Structure 1
Amino acid sequence: MISIFLARRTMCVLVAAALAGCASVAPDHGFGDVERQAQARTGYAPRLAQNDDAKRDIAETVSKLLQQPLSVNDAVRIAVINNPGLQASFWDVGIAQADLAQAGRLPNPALDFKRVNAGGGVGIERTFTVNLIGALTMPLASRLESRRFQQVKLAVGAEIERKVAETRRAWYEAVAAEQSVEYAKQVEQAADASAELSERMVKAGNASKLDLAREQAFHAESSAALARTEREARATREKLARLLGLASSRFQLPERLPGLPSSTAELADIERIALDQRLDVQAARSDAEATAANLGLTRTTRFINVLDLGYVRNTGANEPAGRGYEVTLELPLFDWGGARVARAEAVYMQSVNKVAQTAVDARSEAREAYANYQSSYVLAKRYRDEVIPLRKKISQEVLLRYNGMLASTFELLADAREQASAVNAYIDAQKEYWIAHATLEAALGTRVANPNQGAQQ
């Protein structure tokens, strides 16, 4: 009977040892799958800074990209490889992969040695113990950790996509703010000249003090607007620098935003796209599956919590050696495992409801983002094709009337103020469209192509 038991035990140990030999820590810490997934979904490949060579390579790439005005694509490329917070989340994959490798290995055996002096004789007891429950449940634990590993990779992938969307939005905000600053400077200079001209006209008796006060007020307002836009430009630039993981915000940006495309992307069944493509939805599903697997493992081990199998060999003076085995079993007298099972069931129901909430959020966010994307394009296009051309036409007509002495200087200055207001509104509308485009990509979990993007305006 003992020989059969030992043979079975040996077979189990050999099978488990073979499984343990297959479970090892990957050289890339399991990050290769995340890198390939991000490349396929976003077009940008993250890098794990796991050694000095990788860090130097990342630093060289960032330095090269910063030598020219930073495009939105280059900004995202820098963020996904250089953002320290994102790098920290990358190591979640390494932790999960190490846990998976650990779950596929046998628990270490225990060796007990006893030496007892009694009546002039010496007794020696040797015990070699193996955690049998740990070996029997190792396949279940490996499957559980494998599911968790997949879930972590999905979660890290979702974090990469969130960082891509945040960086795009921050880039559009920073470029629009810089563009507004340059235009605000032009307006402030014009307002300063008009205020000075009004003061001279008042002295010459060709204008009233009321006209002078109006121009001076406009000059003061334009100066305040310039200070406000400069403050916003500094804030947006620093926000972008944080996302890029840069120690300094002294990088170049383009002078203006990209032009509007000729049309928007027409997407059908956006809710289905979001549910199929978003990684946070997939991660929530994976979490529920892993929790269900954990519940099965808990039910399997609810009664037998500790089962150790040991081989014993006793020797003593003037006595033949004794051999045998011992089994250590935890008796469920006080804890029958019901609380553990109840907790696992509660955690599972919690994860199921989290999946449902994630799906509701994803569908709602997709609808909202698509509606904002469409309406933002209509607004920006109206400014580009209607408001700005009409303002230019009005300015030309007012200038002609002024040259023909049919309009006063103050009418010309008033028209300039109205034109400045229209240009600022167009810059804001253009920025809102591009931000809405980036938000739509994040809400759907996939890239949205711009049909025939137009030239810069």
Structure 2
Amino acid sequence: MKTTRTSAPPSKRRGNLALGLGVLAAVLAAGGCASYRPLPLPDHAQLAGRLDDIRHTLALGGAPHVIDTSQPLGVDDIGLLAILNDPELRAERGEFELAQADLTQSKALPNPSVGLGYAALLGGEGTTGALSASLTQDVKSILTYRRRVAAARAHVLEIDAQLLWKEWQVAQKARLLAIDLYWDERSIQSSETAAHTLARTASRVREQVGAGRMSQSDLAPLLSSQATLERSIASLRLTTSKNWADLDALLGMTPDARFALARPRAPAIPTDIDAGIAEATERRPDLIALRLGYRSADENVRAAILGQFPALALGGSWNSDTSNVRSGGPTVTFDLPIFDRNQGRIAQTRATRRLLYEQYQSRLDEVDTTIRALDVRSRQIAQALDAARDDAASTQTQADRARQAFRQGILDRRALTDYDMTALNRRLDAYNLERALAEAHTALALELGSGLPRTRLAPQDTGM
């Protein structure tokens, strides 16, 4: 028995082809689609009450570094803890993700455009329905692709450097708060010790006044000194309470959290300040970020110049009319650059590049001035501190001798109190200068980029 295969009519074959193309396009589109995942908002604050409850492990040089929270914390460790736990830095890190998303978008070329059409035969001398199909691709976006991607990549690196600088600024703030807290607590301890001694002395003099052996003129200076000292202690406690609240906020902890602080150590400062300034331009992330921003702006200028050429779309088309006459060929679509030659975009990108150029020069001048001013201030404070330490030691020796003379009955209690208060004031002066020197050295170290990871510009984009 012979079987005869009957071919489908042309109109049916074309319909199947169009249906197949539509199904294929739908499958490809569905395969690249992202799925929705909810991200519910938190319903409560996430503040820790203890150091053990916050993040204290980080990677330094690829190896994990665990900060020992069971020991008094130094200012450097407190700075690292602030970087790990500051709530505001979490939001700042979202900017880096946005920049990465922009880079992903810039790498994506525009999709080709597909056009399909079918006109059914409703009457007349035709024999079949009319079909049309076209495929076009925007060529202009391909010409500017390399520059757009280079600009987006430089922007990602810029945001990364900016985030690093913000992290170290947060660390700097935490360090300075820790320095203030340490020396304020030393001042409070010394002042409270003196206040207790002064209170005992005033109580004994008051007894002597009541017994008629001393007069009110002997008691009045003691009461005045006691009131002054109590006001000073109260002011220090208010300042300390505020500083603790600020430091706890940077660490993501409740405002009443407290922990032991180690004596601040002065960071190493280069003796050659000119060499330090020269190295700072290669170490400071804010300067690196400005240079990367300038590179991104320069790539945008190049892309804008390429964009002045008219929009161009290349493709092909296939058509079939109602008499089943088929035709096909290339298509070209382009704009006539009569009115818009991208001159606005070019002017905008050039102005942005010039602005970043001026900002970078301004920042270089600011860095140079700030570093030199801090260096001079540090040297002046160091000299004053040496003198203050000598004065504190001398007045303490005099106070010890005065106490011995008082026990021998050679010196009265009021004179002994004067010696003790003088020794206390000189000791507090030395504490304040210790704090000022630590703050100046810490600020100078940040301005010089000391302690920061050395950052280098990424190599120029090639081969894109």
Question: What range describes the TM-score normalised by the shorter chain of this pair?
Answer: 0.7 to 0.9
Match of 1:428 among 425, 432, 438: 432
Match of 1:278 among 284, 289, 298: 284
SS in 1 for 2:129: strand
Match of 1:438 among 442, 448, 462: 442
The offset of 1:60, in angstroms, is 6.5
Counterpart residue identity of residue 85, structure 1: E
**C-alpha distance in 2, partners of 1:265/1:410?**
49
Match of 1:389 among 378, 388, 393: 393
Instruction: Work out whether 1:334 is the aligned partner of 2:339.
Output: yes
The offset of 1:175, in angstroms, is 1.6
The residue that corresponds to 2:376 in the other structure is: 371
Counterpart residue identity of residue 113, structure 2: A
The residue that corresponds to 1:215 in the other structure is: 222
The residue that corresponds to 2:414 in the other structure is: 410
**C-alpha distance in 2, partners of 1:173/1:86?**
23
The offset of 1:430, in angstroms, is 1.0
SS in 2 for 1:247: coil
Instruction: Work out whether 1:113 is the aligned partner of 2:108.
Output: no
The offset of 1:259, in angstroms, is 6.5
**C-alpha distance in 2, partners of 1:310/1:247?**
64
Instruction: Work out whether 1:319 is the aligned partner of 2:319.
Output: no
Normalised by the length of structure 2, the TM-score is 0.77
Structure 1 residues 140-179: aligned runs within 5 Å: 140-179=147-186
The offset of 1:367, in angstroms, is 0.5
Match of 1:244 among 227, 243, 251: 251
Structure 1 residues 20-35: aligned runs within 5 Å: none
The offset of 1:302, in angstroms, is 1.6
Check whether the contact 2:110–2:138 (CA below 8 A) recurs between aligned residues. yes
Instruction: Work out whether 1:181 is the aligned partner of 2:184.
Output: no
Match of 2:207 among 186, 200, 210: 200
Check whether the contact 1:264–1:374 (CA below 8 A) recurs between aligned residues. no
The offset of 1:298, in angstroms, is 0.8
SS in 2 for 1:129: strand
Check whether the contact 1:68–1:252 (CA below 8 A) recurs between aligned residues. no
**Deviation by residue 1:400-447 (Cα, 9 ceiling, x = unmatched):** 221222211100011111111112111111111111111011111123
Check whether the contact 1:177–1:236 (CA below 8 A) recurs between aligned residues. no
Match of 2:348 among 317, 320, 343: 343
The residue that corresponds to 2:38 in the other structure is: none
The offset of 1:61, in angstroms, is 4.1
The offset of 1:248, in angstroms, is 4.1
The residue that corresponds to 1:36 in the other structure is: none
Check whether the contact 1:82–1:244 (CA below 8 A) recurs between aligned residues. yes
Match of 2:272 among 267, 275, 280: 267
Counterpart residue identity of residue 129, structure 2: V
Instruction: Work out whether 1:360 is the aligned partner of 2:365.
Output: yes
SS in 2 for 1:111: strand
Instruction: Work out whether 1:71 is the aligned partner of 2:74.
Output: yes
**C-alpha distance in 2, partners of 1:97/1:355?**
24
Give % identity.
20
**C-alpha distance in 2, partners of 1:334/1:260?**
64
Q: Cα 1:287–1:61, aligned 2, differ >3 Å: closer, same or farther?
A: closer
Match of 1:298 among 285, 296, 304: 304
Counterpart residue identity of residue 116, structure 2: F
**Deviation by residue 1:215-250 (Cα, 9 ceiling, x = unmatched):** 112222222112111101101111111222223441
**C-alpha distance in 2, partners of 1:377/1:348?**
43
Check whether the contact 1:310–1:326 (CA below 8 A) recurs between aligned residues. yes
Q: Cα 1:264–1:416, aligned 2, differ >3 Å: closer, same or farther?
A: farther
SS in 2 for 1:128: strand
Instruction: Work out whether 1:310 is the aligned partner of 2:315.
Output: yes
Q: Cα 1:414–1:260, aligned 2, differ >3 Å: closer, same or farther?
A: farther
**Deviation by residue 1:365-398 (Cα, 9 ceiling, x = unmatched):** 11012222222222233323x1121011111221
Normalised by the length of structure 1, the TM-score is 0.78
Match of 1:257 among 243, 247, 263: 263
Q: Cα 1:421–1:243, aligned 2, differ >3 Å: closer, same or farther?
A: same
Check whether the contact 2:67–2:77 (CA below 8 A) recurs between aligned residues. no
**C-alpha distance in 2, partners of 1:119/1:313?**
22
The offset of 1:78, in angstroms, is 1.0
**C-alpha distance in 1, partners of 2:253/2:326?**
71
Q: Cα 1:265–1:122, aligned 2, differ >3 Å: closer, same or farther?
A: same
The offset of 1:172, in angstroms, is 0.5
Q: Cα 1:67–1:219, aligned 2, differ >3 Å: closer, same or farther?
A: same
Q: Cα 1:191–1:109, aligned 2, differ >3 Å: closer, same or farther?
A: farther
Q: Cα 1:166–1:404, aligned 2, differ >3 Å: closer, same or farther?
A: same
SS in 2 for 1:327: strand
SS in 2 for 1:126: strand
Larger Rg: 2
Check whether the contact 1:175–1:253 (CA below 8 A) recurs between aligned residues. no
**C-alpha distance in 1, partners of 2:408/2:266?**
38
Structure 1 residues 113-132: aligned runs within 5 Å: 113-117=116-120, 119-120=122-123, 122-132=129-139
Q: Considering fraction of residues, name the structure with more helix.
A: 1
Q: Cα 1:318–1:260, aligned 2, differ >3 Å: closer, same or farther?
A: closer
Check whether the contact 2:121–2:322 (CA below 8 A) recurs between aligned residues. no
Q: Cα 1:435–1:83, aligned 2, differ >3 Å: closer, same or farther?
A: same
**C-alpha distance in 2, partners of 1:105/1:174?**
52
The offset of 1:264, in angstroms, is 6.6
SS in 2 for 1:319: coil
